[in-house]
Each structure stands twice: as C-alpha cells, then as structure tokens.
C-alpha cells in the first residue's frame, strides 16, 4: 500500500458541488482544515450546561483515532482532542 504507484502523494480538494479533485499544497490543506475546525468550534462550543455548570464541550465534532498507534501516541492524541473540548473520541481499541 505504501509503495503503490496509485498512492496519493499530496492533498486533494473537491469543491462543493464539483465531481473533480484538484491537487493543493500541504499548507493550503492544513489552513482549510484549521479554518473549518475553528469555525465549527466557535459556533458549537458549549461553555455551561443547563444547570449553569462549567463544561467546556465541543459536541458537534468527534475524532476517530488510530487503533494501531502506540500507547504513547494514543495518550497524546487523547490529550489534544480533549484539550479542544471534543467529547466524542473513538478507536477500534476504545481508548
């Protein structure tokens, strides 16, 4: 799979409504992802629950982590995702 000649070598983007993928730079891909995540987090972040308790949750987005990663990588992934406020994280390993 890693040495396949059909393997994608760079990020690709498909505009809404389009049926064509276009190659983009890594910087552009990371910028798009970060902007979409930030916009969604700003729009859906829950600071307090109905009782007025501080919860700091981002409930409109989840994270699917690798089950083949090491324990150390899983730990760091979990810490980053939780620090963003995501309440939904899952793997096959059920971290």
SS3 call for 81: helix
Residue 95 has pLDDT above 70, yes or no: no
Distance CA 45, CA 56 (A): 7
Give the per-residue pLDDT at 25. 97
Residue 94 has pLDDT above 80, yes or no: no
Strand order across the beta sheet in which 45-48 lies = 45-48, 54-64, 86-90
pLDDT tens sequence across 19-60: 999 999 999 999 999 999 999 999 999 999 999 999 999 999
Long-range contacts of 52-55 (CB under 8 A, 24+ apart): none
pTM score of the predicted model: 0.74
pLDDT tens sequence across 59-88: 999 998 888 888 898 889 989 999 999 988
Q: What is the CA radius of gyration of the chain?
A: 17
Q: What tokens were used for 65?
A: 């982590």
């Amino acid at each position: 799979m890693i040495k396949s000649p059909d393997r994608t070598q760079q990020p690709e983007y498909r505009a809404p409504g389009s049926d064509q993928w276009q190659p983009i730079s890594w910087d552009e891909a990371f910028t798009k992802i970060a902007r979409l995540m930030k916009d969604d987090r700003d729009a859906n972040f829950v600071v307090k629950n109905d009782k007025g308790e501080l919860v700091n949750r981002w409930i409109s987005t989840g994270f699917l982590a690798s089950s083949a990663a090491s324990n150390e990588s899983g730990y760091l992934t979990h810490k980053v995702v939780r620090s963003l406020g995501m309440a939904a994280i899952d793997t096959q390993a059920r971290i």
